């Protein structure tokens, strides 16, 4: 049982929340188990003896204030974040504690930047949206690839997922984002988000070994189009997804992730290939690992650890690449992520 600071986890009994609770315990923090469903909370607390469980609802600010009492930080794992992010950020600001979430929803992440930037900065509080596989990791990789560049012409983030068995939370988040866009697609081009109805295109992406070249969906736009441009001058930010994983995600009755190891990780593997280009020079960073949900836990917990130990570069609403030393952050997660930084190439 850890004796470190209490860290509240909202949505603690969800698939990602459970990974976050386990990671906090492993790192000596004491998770406070928060969620809206008392029965699910009690079931989790029984499996995690010694941890406090506190029911709270996003519709009831006083319940959130009680739930955050004594917490040094809060990690929000309850999505769709279109519903949960604003009430939780608000509560964290009232409590004067840092807030980190794992939101992959582009519009919800934009809202967090738009609605809370001023208050968070004025109070000297750190709020980090999208501190997970999509959004946070891509931003850390692009920032690492940039090295001394402060601007570039393009950033490309190619997601090489072996498969994608989504959680209910992922499907709900996708549905809400789809509704918010009126069924339109979105891309980041010319320095802004553009909503459009163009058909999805596929292309071959030259992933390095061991994955090798794969068919990918072009403009499979993920939260990186919020996090990267929040602090880097890159007018074109494009994300790609292996066509196989995209098909898994949209298949009717897609199975949920199934654990294959003692940490509860699924067999899903990922390779993320990041390329930034400025003029004729290209810089690459490649990272590989297992299970996009599981790896979101060390990403979010490392973020909290750095915030609570003062290893930050900014306050306010900030993305991972803006607030942390990106290459140092990624190296600290070497037991979860294998990082490769090839030499610059002429592009």
Residues that bind ligand NAP (CB under 6 A): 11, 13-17, 35-37, 40, 58, 77-81, 83-84, 102, 104, 130, 132-135, 167-170, 173, 223, 292-293, 296
d(CA 92, CA 162): 37
Cβ 279 to ligand NAP shortest distance, Å? 32
Nearer CB in complex with ligand NAP: 164/283 = 164
Q: Give the sign of the dihedral formed by CA 165, CA 26, CA 58, CA 55.
A: positive
- Pairing status of strand 281-290 against strand 338-340: antiparallel
Cβ 105 to ligand NAP shortest distance, Å? 7
User: What residues does 76 pair with on adjacent strands?
Assistant: 10, 101
Cβ 174 to ligand NAP shortest distance, Å? 8
In the chain the beta strands, taken as DSSP E runs, fall at 6-10, 30-35, 53-55, 73-76, 99-101, 126-128, 154-161, 185-189, 192-196, 201-205, 214-218, 236-242, 269-278, 281-290, 316-317, 338-340, 345-346
Name the residue among 61, 6, 22 with its Cα closest to residue 259: 22
Nearer CB in complex with ligand NAP: 125/170 = 170
Name the residue among 87, 164, 100, 169 with its Cα closest to residue 130: 100
Cβ 268 to ligand NAP shortest distance, Å? 12
Nearer CB in complex with ligand NAP: 129/316 = 129
Q: What tokens appear for 102 in the block? A: 């794992």
Tokens 């029911």 locate to: 55
Q: How many CB atoms lie within 10 A of CB 342?
A: 13
Q: What tokens appear for 41 in the block? A: 């909370």
CB-based contacts of 234: which residues, under 8 Å, 6+ apart? 142, 151, 152, 153, 154, 155, 228, 276
d(CA 316, CA 298): 22
Nearer CB in complex with ligand NAP: 101/219 = 101
Nearer CB in complex with ligand NAP: 60/236 = 60
Cβ 57 to ligand NAP shortest distance, Å? 7
Nearer CB in complex with ligand NAP: 152/294 = 294
Nearer CB in complex with ligand NAP: 83/315 = 83
d(CA 271, CA 206): 12
Cβ 265 to ligand NAP shortest distance, Å? 13
d(CA 315, CA 2): 28
Name the residue among 224, 339, 168, 183 with its Cα closest to residue 270: 339
Q: What are phi and psi of 279, to 5 degrees?
A: 55, -125
Cβ 143 to ligand NAP shortest distance, Å? 17
Cβ 102 to ligand NAP shortest distance, Å? 4
Cβ 271 to ligand NAP shortest distance, Å? 15
Nearer CB in complex with ligand NAP: 81/99 = 81
Nearer CB in complex with ligand NAP: 152/301 = 301
């Amino acid at each position: 049982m850890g004796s470190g600071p209490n860290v509240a986890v909202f949505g603690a009994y969800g698939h990602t929340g459970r990974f976050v609770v386990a990671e906090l315990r492993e790192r000596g923090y004491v998770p406070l188990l928060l969620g809206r469903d008392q029965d699910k909370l009690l079931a989790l607390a029984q499996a995690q003896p010694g941890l406090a469980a506190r029911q709270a609802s996003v519709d009831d600010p006083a319940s959130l204030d009680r739930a955050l009492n004594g917490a040094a930080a809060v990690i929000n794992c309850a999505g769709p974040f279109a519903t949960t992010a604003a009430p939780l950020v608000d509560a964290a600001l009232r409590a004067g504690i840092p807030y980190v979430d794992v939101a992959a929803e582009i519009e919800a992440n934009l809202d967090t930047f738009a609605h809370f930037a001023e208050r968070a900065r004025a109070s000297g509080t750190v709020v980090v949206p999208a501190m997970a596989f999509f959004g946070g990791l891509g931003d850390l990789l692009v920032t690492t690839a940039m090295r001394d560049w402060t601007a570039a012409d393009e950033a490309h983030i190619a997601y090489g997922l072996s498969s994608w068995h989504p959680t209910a939370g992922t499907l709900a988040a996708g549905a809400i984002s789809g509704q918010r866009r009126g069924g339109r697609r979105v891309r980041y081009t010319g320095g802004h988000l553009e909503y459009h109805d163009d058909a999805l295109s596929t292309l071959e992406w030259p992933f390095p070994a061991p994955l090798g070249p794969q068919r990918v969906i072009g403009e499979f736009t993920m939260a990186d189009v919020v996090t990267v441009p929040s602090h880097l001058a890159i007018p074109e930010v494009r994300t790609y997804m292996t066509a196989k994983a995209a098909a898994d995600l949209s298949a009717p009755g897609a199975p949920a992730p199934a654990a294959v190891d003692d940490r509860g990780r699924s067999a899903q593997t990922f390779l993320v290939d990041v390329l930034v280009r400025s003029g004729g020079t290209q810089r690459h960073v490649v990272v590989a690992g297992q299970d996009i949900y599981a790896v979101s836990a060390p990403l979010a917990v490392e973020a909290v650890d750095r915030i609570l130990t003062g290893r930050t570069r900014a306050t306010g609403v900030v993305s991972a690449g803006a607030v942390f030393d990106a290459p140092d952050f990624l190296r600290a997660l070497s037991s979860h992520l294998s990082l490769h930084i090839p030499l610059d190439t002429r592009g």
